[in-house]
Chains A and B, each alone.
Chain A
Amino acid sequence: MSIKKLDQAALDTWVNKLIANQSVYGVQAKGERFAFGPLSKAEDLRLDYDVTILPPKKYFQPQREDLLEFNAKGEYTSVTETEPFILFGVHPYDVVAIAQMDTIFSADNYDVHYMTRRHNATIVACDVQNASANVFAGCMNTATVTKGFDLLLTKIGEFYLAEAKTPKGEKLLTDLPGGLEPGNLDLARREQVWKDNTGLLRKHKLKCNPQELPGLLEKSYYAPVWEAKAKLCFSCGSCNLVCPTCYCFDVQDDVNWDLQSGKRTRAWDGCLLKDFAAVAGGHNFRSSRTDRYRHRFYRKAKYVAEKLNQIACVGCGRCISACVPKIANPVEVFNELL
């Protein structure tokens, strides 16, 4: 696969060309923070962002989506979207999270809604240029990536290196005007960025190897930390909702005014919310705040981890920033258990 070197002007021309051909979602400023949104021109793209408020999962599993339309005769049709799109500027930790979601949504039950969008996406990853306040990807082996994307951009000084990883990425490069061939020095500088990022993206330092986490949790079910922290928990689910590896959803039906037809939708849900584990008859499997608070960590570093052999936390730090009482920091919790 090819690799090109381009300056900012070439990047802008290229991005504008891509926008002219298909939908591009890229990172843009939102107040003092950043968010992925529909990109209308290259100048709005902020590849120097630290972290986005929501992860790019919203393009594969939207906050709310229609699953199917039904009628009173028992007929139904699935609703799926088909438009191809480019997701521009995904950080490595989010690339790892998307790859994990791909497994979750395709392995046991193939989720046609998620997978259709996923197949329609071309992912342009971008190495981190500015570390966010709470990132700890360096501790989770997600500060850099070698797969899970179609094309990778890395900023080296005044230039970018763009390396295609898949035929889809290669195709994007054919639209690139005036790309240069990188020299050995450029490649060495890129190696240096990767090395630096692994060190820099450690705003919180996990005191063990992530592989040890399932074992650590195995013996920590009754640790005092759960209740101590959960005392301050609002059960607001923010830590779930902003997480790139949380994917739980709630399914609801609504009828049209004719009461003869309607649609089924699903929306993001979170295990920290009080009614998440409530079932018919009024029973709730995790009715206490402590149970719910603890569950998220077990899910991240034991249940999913043992099933997929990957920790379900990529160290993006979003939960840490989103939690108003500041109790959601996984590193703090795991270190306390050590």
Chain B
Amino acid sequence: MSKPKLAIFDFTCCEGCQLQIVNLEEEILNLISLVNPVEWREAMSEHIGNYDIALIEGSITRPEDEEKLRRIRKRAKILVALGSCASTGGVNKLKNNFDLQEVKHCVYGQAADMPHLHTAPTKAIDEVVQVDYKIYGCPIDRREFAYIVRCLALGKSPEIPDYPVCVECKLQENICRYEYDEICLGPVTRAGCGARCPSCATWCFGCRGHIEEPNLSAAKEIMVRYGKTFQDLKNRMNIFGSKQRYADE
């Protein structure tokens, strides 16, 4: 059996998810024994044709990137969105809450209208092309990434959690952040991170995006019970949840 060809591409992001792959350290040798990396700017510089698996990091923020992504899709058998920016739009979608002109001027000042600084509303990868699998998280979880790659190499669908972070908090016997009078996004956020933030004594930022059926009306309704307002909740959700599906309900 020849090794599946794996390519990694990055769009608008901090490249932290790719860094997590590099951070696999010794395990990266196992990864390379299983797949054949053909295009990966952060780790090598050769460029070759078709891919069995294309990992896409980052979100799409310029029309020319949409074109590039479509070309990758055509050459890839399996296309995987890697990390929050790619799978949900992530923090990059904050921009979509404002007028584009205003955003550009805020970031680039006088240079805002230079042609190379052209920008469009942020899109997640699946808003442009069909995505086969999503690896959630900001950044991704290394163990989960390794597991998903093994599944794909074996030709089996990985089990990606569609239950809230609360599950993983309970398994770790964490004290619920609501007991500390904090708004935590855990009850509506997809697990898989091992409840990383609550286990380090802070609320869940919602980086993995909503579960498929988040009970947002309940999240809204319980705010009163905890002495908070709907606006408090929205402010929390803006970071990773801007313009996410259901975000404006």
Footprint of B on A, CB under 8 Å?
Answer: 30-33, 35, 53-54, 63-64, 231-238, 241-242, 252, 254-257, 259, 267-268, 270, 273-275, 289, 322, 324-326
Asked if A236 contacts B150 (CB within 8 A), the reply is: no
| Closest Cβ–Cβ distance, residue A264 to chain B (whole Å) | 13
Knowing A254-B150, A273-B163, A274-B162 are in contact, say whether A322-B215 is a contact too (CB < 8 A): no
Give the residues in chain B near A273, CB-CB below 8 Å: 163, 167
CB of B166 within 8 Å of the partner chain: yes
Q: List 16 A-B contacts (CB under 8 A).
A: A32-B175, A53-B175, A63-B172, A232-B215, A235-B164, A235-B215, A236-B186, A237-B166, A255-B150, A257-B27, A259-B153, A268-B171, A274-B163, A274-B212, A275-B163, A326-B222
| Closest Cβ–Cβ distance, residue B148 to chain A (whole Å) | 11
- Complex CA distance for A35 and B173, rounded to whole angstroms: 8
Question: Which of B30, B212, B221 meets A257, CB within 8 Å?
Answer: B30
Give the residues in chain B near A234, CB-CB below 8 Å: 164, 166, 187-188, 215, 218-219
Asked if A324 contacts B178 (CB within 8 A), the reply is: yes
Asked if A324 contacts B222 (CB within 8 A), the reply is: yes
| Closest Cβ–Cβ distance, residue B159 to chain A (whole Å) | 6
Give the residues in chain B near A274, CB-CB below 8 Å: 162-163, 211-213
CB closest chain-B residue, reference A32: B175
CB closest chain-A residue, reference B178: A324
Question: Which of B34, B170, B172 meets A242, CB within 8 Å?
Answer: B170
Knowing A254-B147, A257-B30, A324-B178 are in contact, say whether A233-B218 is a contact too (CB < 8 A): yes
Footprint of A on B, CB under 8 Å?
Answer: 27, 30-31, 33-34, 147, 150, 153-154, 159, 162-164, 166-167, 170-176, 178-179, 186-188, 211-213, 215, 217-219, 221-222, 225
| Closest Cβ–Cβ distance, residue B14 to chain A (whole Å) | 28
Question: Which of A242, A252, A259 meets B150, CB within 8 Å?
Answer: A259
Question: Which of B34, B162, B163, B213 meets A259, CB within 8 Å?
Answer: B34
Asked if B162 contacts A275 (CB within 8 A), the reply is: yes
Please list the 7 inter-chain residue pairs (A to B) with the smallest Cβ-Cβ separation, ordered nearest first: A236-B166, A257-B30, A241-B170, A234-B187, A63-B171, A232-B218, A236-B164
CB closest chain-B residue, reference A254: B147
CB closest chain-B residue, reference A318: B170
Question: Which of A237, A252, A289, A325 meets B170, CB within 8 Å?
Answer: A237
| Closest Cβ–Cβ distance, residue B236 to chain A (whole Å) | 14
Question: Which of B150, B162, B171, B215 meets A289, CB within 8 Å?
Answer: B215
* Main SS at interface, chain A: loop
Give the residues in chain A near B178, CB-CB below 8 Å: 324
Give the residues in chain A near B150, CB-CB below 8 Å: 254-257, 259
| Closest Cβ–Cβ distance, residue B1 to chain A (whole Å) | 9
- Complex CA distance for A229 and B34, rounded to whole angstroms: 49
- Complex CA distance for A267 and B104, rounded to whole angstroms: 48
Q: Which among A259, A270, A326 has the highest number of chain B CB atoms within 10 Å?
A: A259
Asked if B166 contacts A232 (CB within 8 A), the reply is: no
Asked if A238 contacts B153 (CB within 8 A), the reply is: no
- Complex CA distance for A241 and B171, rounded to whole angstroms: 7
Give the residues in chain B near A324, CB-CB below 8 Å: 166, 176, 178, 187, 222
Give the residues in chain A near B175, CB-CB below 8 Å: 30-33, 53
- Complex CA distance for A110 and B186, rounded to whole angstroms: 36
Give the residues in chain B near A31, CB-CB below 8 Å: 175
- Complex CA distance for A136 and B150, rounded to whole angstroms: 47
- Complex CA distance for A232 and B30, rounded to whole angstroms: 45
Give the residues in chain A near B33, CB-CB below 8 Å: 257
- Complex CA distance for A274 and B162, rounded to whole angstroms: 8
Question: Which of A231, A241, A256 meets B167, CB within 8 Å?
Answer: A241
Give the residues in chain A near B147, CB-CB below 8 Å: 254
CB closest chain-B residue, reference A242: B170
Question: Which of B154, B163, B172, B212 meets A236, CB within 8 Å?
Answer: B163
CB closest chain-A residue, reference B219: A234
Give the residues in chain A near B174, CB-CB below 8 Å: 53
| Closest Cβ–Cβ distance, residue A174 to chain B (whole Å) | 33
- Complex CA distance for A255 and B152, rounded to whole angstroms: 11
- Complex CA distance for A289 and B187, rounded to whole angstroms: 14
- Complex CA distance for A113 and B167, rounded to whole angstroms: 23
| Closest Cβ–Cβ distance, residue A279 to chain B (whole Å) | 14
- Complex CA distance for A330 and B92, rounded to whole angstroms: 43
Give the residues in chain B near A54, CB-CB below 8 Å: 170, 173
Give the residues in chain B near A252, CB-CB below 8 Å: 159
- Complex CA distance for A32 and B213, rounded to whole angstroms: 33
